Structure 1
Amino acid sequence: MRRLFDLARRTARLMVGLPDYDSYVRHMAAHHPGDPVMNRTQFFRDRQQARYGGRNGGRCC
């Protein structure tokens, strides 16, 4: 039951544009072990910039 709740929570967050920091950390450890890992604040800001910042400070559409 807990696993189902966690999956539903993760899905809901992705639907509203909140990326999963824990998945990011696992990905970095598995695929980029020598690279620095952003903290939660840096990660959130990076994802916000990627989603809303775009080129020239604006979204593409």
Structure 2
Amino acid sequence: MFSKLVKLRETGSYLGQAARMLVGMPDYGTYVRHMEENHPGQPYMSYEEFFRNRIDARYGGGKGRPVRCC
């Protein structure tokens, strides 16, 4: 029973992450885990910095071009 609940939780987490990726919503938890595993000791962005970074990367903000949706 316990292993089925763990498996269900893992599946739900995976599906949630996939859904966020489909709509372009950044996943801060994945970023933090990546930084801790691959770049230990280096500071990582706050949630607000991360979110702004991802929005700028997606829509071109901060590169001399106006940010626009269309």
Q: Please give the TM-score of this superposition, normalised by the length of structure 2.
A: 0.72
- Larger gyration radius, structure 1 or structure 2: 2
User: Larger relative contact order (C-alpha < 8 A, sep ≥ 6)?
Assistant: 1
Task: Give % identity.
Answer: 46
Q: Please give the TM-score of this superposition, normalised by the length of structure 1.
A: 0.81
Q: How many positions carry a matched residue from both structures? A: 59
Q: Which runs of 5+ in 2 are unaligned?
A: 1-7
RMSD: 1.7
Q: Which runs of 5+ in 1 are unaligned?
A: none
Please say if 1:51 is aligned against 2:46: no
